[in-house]
Amino acid sequence: MKRNDRRLPRRPLAAAVATAGLVGLLTAVPHGAAPAAAATGTAAADTTATVFYYTKTKNWAKYNLHYSPDGGAWTTVPGVAMEAACTDWVKKTVDLGSAAGLKATFNNGSGVWDNNGGRNYDLGSGAITVKDGVVAHSDPCAGTEGPGNEATVYYSTATVGWTTTNLHYQPAGGAWTPVPGVGMTPACTGWVKRTVSLGTAATLRAAFNNGNGVWDNNNGQDYVIAKGVSTVRDRTVTANAADPCAAQPPDTQAPTVPTKVAASADGVSVVLTWEPSSDDKAVTSYQVTRTGGTGGTVVTNVGSTVFSDTDLAERTAYSYTVKAVDAAGNLSGASASATATTGTRPATPAAGKPLGTDPRKDPIYFVLTARFNDGDTSNNRGGSQHVKSGNAANDDPMFRGDFKGLVQKLDYIKALGFSAVWITPVVLNRSDYDYHGYHGYDFYTVDRRLESAGASYQDLIDAAHAKGMKIYQDVVYNHSSRWGAKGLFTPKVYGVRDTQWSWYYDEPNASFEYDGLTVEPKSGKTYYNGDMWSTAQPAGNTCVNWGTPTQHTSPEGYRIYNCQWPNPTSGMFPKALYHNCWIGNWEGEDSRSCWLHDDLADVNTENATVQNHLIGAYNKYIDMGVDGFRVDTAVHIPRTTWNRRFLPAIAERVTQRHGAEAAKNFFVFGEVAAFVNDKWNRGSVNHSAQFFTWKERTEYSADDGKAALEMYEDEQQRGTADQPTSDNAFLRGNTYHAPDHSRFSGMNVIDMRMHMNFGDAPNAFHNGKDSDDSYNDATYNVVYVDSHDYGPNKSSERYAGGTDAWAENMSLMWTFRGIPTLYYGSEVEFQAGKKIDCGPTCPLASTGRAYFGDRIAGDVKASGFSTVESASGAVATTLQQPLVRHLQRLNQIRRAVPALQTGQYSTEGITGQMAFKRRWTSGSTDSFALVTVSGSATYTGIPNGTYRDAVTGDTRTVTAGTLSVAAPGKGNLRVYVLNGTGKIGADGPYLK
């Protein structure tokens, strides 16, 4: 990759950029452009680099800088020692000579390195910061320049939204500071400041920038600032200004102090909650000040009533104060405080190791990786259907998103509040339209169209784990495509390069191997098929009537020949490895032993060679540290095969590589597609989702093929009335009881019945709980409204019930039993009502699988789950949408109330349309919650005590076992928690 010139010109060009309403104010400097001519002098060339390194997330005893000036030699390992700079930072100034920059890595002197994921850091000159892998230009330790003839400059960041601000200045008659200038420090909400010495000058000229090429230079005129205190806001300089951050006198009616501040520690993190100020002024944010420990005082501004402080010292008391801030920057005169003591630091997630925690705690965000976010355009591929589909006209290749793009937006997903990401299959695919991943060809190889330098699949897994997020990999055991499986069996089809078919069949190239990414030189295509066909009958061919013409023609009118396309009944596929029939009855036995589609070669999963091939492939991804598997088309494999072969193999491999606890929490959830509204799929227990959560109860033949038939007949004869039941999901009265998982198969499932009935939330709720006694444990059910396949009621469109209905559906999913799951973009009703999939007959941009990256373009950083530290660009707008804010608070509440994550439930003694109680008890934790969604409810026979609503903070004292709740309104809910802490999060468009 060609490295761009990092050297910045001394001053920005005057190319105007419109940002946040400041048309013509901000300017961007093109790479390599010469500075505009001006009467401000010429800055000297940078000959040094001062590298600041952020220590808080490392906690090393020593820090070394190992570097190489551009074109020069590397220092001797471990490099040069860095020195203390200021709180959480070390620094080292190095002489670059004539070099424009340097390459660098950091280490602790004892073999632990930060080398930017193997890529090294590429740094420039001047003041440079490296913080958690992010490089910026500023001085994080900037203070004042000392007393005397000084200018104190306050700069308003309210309209530019910068997280880093630099002051580039020139005292009258003096020299300009080197670009980008000196760092400004936060002063109060919306303001940064810097005090600089003027020497003998009375004024200075100034421009401001964010350290990454975006400038405010007063539309090319620079600012003139006098000594004393000045403010710069909206291109207006106010001399001899009042301190904009000074405390306001009482007559300005500053906001009142927040109330009920509470701090709780979990490991080395502290969660601070409070109730909003109850004054008449518009409070826009809160100032949180933390003291204690070894980190000194930290002041930050947050927009919600929940603040997460992470990565603190172990077993240390931290004190916090909270003040309210209004739109004018006025602070409440007093503050409320709380203290919490941290525990022991949890083990740092190891590379290639699953997080290993209870999956019910992790809401799931589901993405089609190739359609989510494009981090690397060099791996984009359109395939053979690029033009026909209409994608070419939209400049929208089917393979567009990638792992790099997903890594870049993990903070977006985390900011929504999700801690698990379900991604579509990663194995090398091969078909005409294979972006979705379900046409696996080489199960042992990751599809190169998803990977980039520095963003491999392993990098994605490790990056997610570093943020406390899980990766669930979609896997396919049932079928392969185009048309066999590499390393198992791939047939040659008949083909001929005649006047009709030469356009389709590529000339064979024995030296080329398909990998999905590389262009085959003879055909000039990546979707090369020259290795798949033969005009001459290949050795060992078993396909009947090889190459003889049929009565059929292609859509173009070309003659079709026998053995030209895959056909399970043609003899093309060996019976030992592939099933040799078409499905005739989707609820019959043949649905597990026949083909779904001619482009999905159905492997014989009852054959030991096939089993070992698939087990070996998926062991690779277990070893990489994925946290679970979503199993595609699970219903098309007999339960006996799952229970005998695949599920034990998964458990054994996870245990072997990662330990028993990781195996216990490795989450396997199957797609058992049952598109009916009744409890059992048209009366066929073998084709119902709950059936797959149970072990066998009869001994069958040792032969897997025979056993599959015996089980099918046995269970069909037993029928729906003679199936196992469980109360693992249900309270006994008000009491939580230990679940019995002794008969659990190892596979959980997608809740197809709730999915089918999510046309409205009450229907989904009543249908869902009606089935719960037939699952081994319904608290593990994966619950979603729509997906990449269907909407409710087997609709072929993305859900379009409206924002209020979406809010109500979410409120139910996030509080009822099961694991809430959201298909990408539903947080903004992306593509609502659009056909989910039409193959290559229409462009992807018009479907439910459209590219989402434009909605999340820009920068986002999450300071915790559901908490946005900073955002800019389109993603900032997306994060302000009503359903996004609704999701964030739902995730805050669910994460704070254990009963909503892992609790059993009951509707006993409760009136109300969607009302229930949930409880989870473990050790010293006893979490009991009363929930009602949208409507009113009355709870009788409940424990007496104090209940606090997590939504409003309302407190009720129950003395006679009864509590009544008024209807909160559609999409809203009430969560009364026994001995709860009260309101969690800030009011939003629905939860209020």
* Ranges 3-12, 109-118, 295-304, 437-446, most confident: 437-446
CB 171 within 8 A of CB 199: yes
927 or 196, which is more confident?
927
What are the structure tokens assigned to 550, written together?
């049929």
Other Cβ atoms closer than 10 A to 401:
28
Which of 157-171, 195-209, 378-392 is predicted with the least confidence, judged by mean pLDDT? Answer: 157-171
Counting every residue written for the chain, the total comes to: 992
Residue 975 is inside which H or E element, if any? strand 973-978
Residue 369 is inside which H or E element, if any? helix 369-372
What are the structure tokens assigned to 817, written together?
């039993």
Which of 467-481, 578-592, 950-964 is predicted with the least confidence, judged by mean pLDDT? Answer: 578-592
pLDDT in tens, 606-624: 999 999 999 999 999 999 9
pLDDT in tens, 447-497: 999 999 999 999 999 999 999 999 999 999 999 998 899 999 999 999 999
Paired sense of beta strands 223-226 and 203-209, if any: antiparallel
**pLDDT bucket at 328, cuts 50 / 70 / 90:** low
**Segment 216-245 mean pLDDT:** 89
pLDDT in tens, 817-873: 999 999 999 999 999 999 999 999 999 999 999 999 999 999 999 999 999 999 999
- Statement: residue 90 has pLDDT above 90: no
In whole angstroms, what is the distance from residue 122 CA to residue 135 CA?
9
pLDDT in tens, 644-700: 999 999 999 999 999 999 999 999 999 999 888 889 998 899 999 999 999 999 999
pLDDT in tens, 781-791: 999 999 999 99
Other Cβ atoms closer than 10 A to 724:
15
CB 152 within 8 A of CB 226: no
- Statement: residue 292 has pLDDT above 80: no
Closest CA to 621 of 515, 480, 473: 473
Residue 927 CB partners (closer than 8 Å, separation 6+): 897, 898, 899, 903, 919, 920, 921, 977
pLDDT in tens, 425-449: 999 999 999 999 999 999 999 999 9
Query: How much is the pLDDT for 658?
Result: 96
Kindly tell me the burial class for residue 911, based on how many C-beta atoms sit within 10 Å of its own C-beta (0-12, 13-18, 19 or more): middle
Query: How much is the pLDDT for 8?
Result: 26
Query: How much is the pLDDT for 248?
Result: 47
pLDDT in tens, 811-822: 999 999 999 999
Residue 955 CB partners (closer than 8 Å, separation 6+): 946, 947, 948, 949, 982
What is the 3-class SS of 320-386, one letter each residue?
EEEEEEECCCCECCCCEEEEEECCCCCCCCCCCCCCCCCHHHCCEEEECHHHHCCCCHHHCECCCCC
- Statement: residue 589 has pLDDT above 80: yes
In whole angstroms, what is the distance from residue 389 CA to residue 539 CA?
37
What are the structure tokens assigned to 209, written together?
């920038």
CB 728 within 8 A of CB 708: no
**% of the chain at pLDDT higher than 70:** 91
Instruction: State residue 221 phi and psi, 5-degree precision.
Output: -100, -10
Paired sense of beta strands 493-494 and 533-534, if any: parallel
pLDDT in tens, 119-164: 888 888 888 888 888 777 777 876 534 446 889 999 988 777 787 8
**pLDDT bucket at 339, cuts 50 / 70 / 90:** confident
pLDDT in tens, 13-52: 222 222 232 222 333 332 222 223 233 333 334 578 889 8
**pLDDT bucket at 3, cuts 50 / 70 / 90:** very low
What are the structure tokens assigned to 429, written together?
């695919």
Query: How much is the pLDDT for 303?
Result: 66
Closest CA to 233 of 329, 168, 156, 158: 156
